[in-house]
Each structure stands twice: as C-alpha cells, then as structure tokens.
C-alpha cells in the first residue's frame, strides 16, 4: 500500500490530470461545476480517505474532530469492502459523516437547551438540511459534480492500493 503522503500526491496529480480531460469531455464548460467537483475530490482524497479506519494521516487531519471517526474505526475492518470498496466506500463515508454531523449538531443543541438558551432543535436542523436540499435542487449539475468528485476521490485511493498490492505479489 502507498503511504499517506503518496496517496496525497496521487490525489493532487490525478486532480490536475483530470482538468484537461474534463475540458475535452464537458459539453458545457461549466467552470463552477469543475470547481465543485475538484473540491469534492480533494475533500474525499484528503479528509474522507479510505484509511479513516486506521490512525492515518487523513484521520489525524480531522484534529479535534477526529473523535467523529472513532466509531467508524471500530465498525469497519481495514481494507474491507466497506472502507475500500469502489463506489460504496466513499458513499458510505459521506453518509456516515452526515449522520455523525447530524448527531453532533443535535447533541450540541440539546446542551444549549439544558443551559436555558432558547433554541429550537428542529428549526435549526431543519434549516440546515433545508439549505442542503435547496442548494441541490437549485444546482443539480453541481450536485452531480460533487458526488462524482467524492466517489472518484475514494476510487483513486482504492485503485492505488490495488496496484501496489498486485505489484508486491508479482515481484
């Protein structure tokens, strides 16, 4: 398996290489869509890495929020189809992250209510998810670019691991 630094370099190089491919294949030449896709790709490659199931560089990047990934590390075996699965792995990590974000927000709002700060949990959470769904409905092509970027960031990691593992077996 490549090291975390090697995975980071692969993420950067493949993102740079993707720009001319996108330009050639894109019918609309939507630069904002490209920016959304590349941002999602970098986020997936650097922060939603396949290696979040270990004490990896990606795990350490979360800093004070790395506790969000502790349950994931306990549930998901390293290099399993859940963590390194092509397509499924990145989508599962995004879903996991969104669930943990929701649980964390709900918990923080509960604490605010307990210390008598008037706040409506349902209104705050509803507004957050409403903004997300409104943005997706208003920019469906950008949402697709984001999804593609998130998935390809994980796919790149899995493919690099597979190539290195194959090469080690061959040699």
Enumerate the domain spans of the chain: 4-170
Phi-psi map region of 103: left, alpha, beta (phi>0 left; psi -120 to 50 alpha)? alpha
Residue 26 burial (CB count, 10 A): 13
pLDDT band at 123 (very low <50, low <70, confident <90, very high): confident
Instruction: Report the C-alpha gap between 92 and 119 in whole angstroms.
Output: 31
Q: In this structure, what token pair is assigned to residue 150?
A: 């998130």
Encode pLDDT of 81-93 as tens digits.
888 888 899 999 9
Give the global pTM.
Answer: 0.87
Would you say residue 28 has pLDDT above 80? no
- DSSP assignment, residue 48? S
- Phi, psi at 145, each rounded to 5°: -60, -40
pLDDT value of position 30:
84
pLDDT for 156 beyond 90: yes
For residue 100, name the pLDDT band (cuts at 50, 70, 90).
very high
124 pLDDT higher than 90: no
């Amino acid at each position: 398996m490549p090291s975390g630094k090697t995975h980071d370099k692969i993420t950067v190089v493949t993102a740079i290489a993707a720009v001319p491919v996108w330009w050639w294949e894109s019918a609309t030449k939507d630069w904002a869509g490209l920016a959304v896709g590349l941002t999602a790709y970098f986020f997936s490659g650097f922060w939603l890495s396949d290696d979040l199931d270990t004490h990896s560089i990606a795990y350490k990047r979360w800093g004070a929020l790395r506790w969000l990934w502790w349950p994931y590390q306990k549930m998901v075996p390293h290099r399993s189809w859940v963590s390194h699965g092509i397509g499924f792995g990145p989508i599962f990590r995004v879903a996991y992250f969104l669930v943990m974000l929701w649980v964390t927000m709900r918990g923080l709002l509960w604490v605010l209510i307990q210390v008598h700060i008037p706040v409506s949990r349902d209104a705050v959470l509803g507004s957050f998810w409403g903004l997300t769904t409104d943005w997706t409905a208003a920019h469906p092509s950008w949402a697709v670019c984001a999804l593609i970027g998130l998935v390809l960031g994980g796919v790149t990691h899995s493919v690099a691991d597979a190539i290195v593992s194959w090469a080690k077996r061959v040699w």
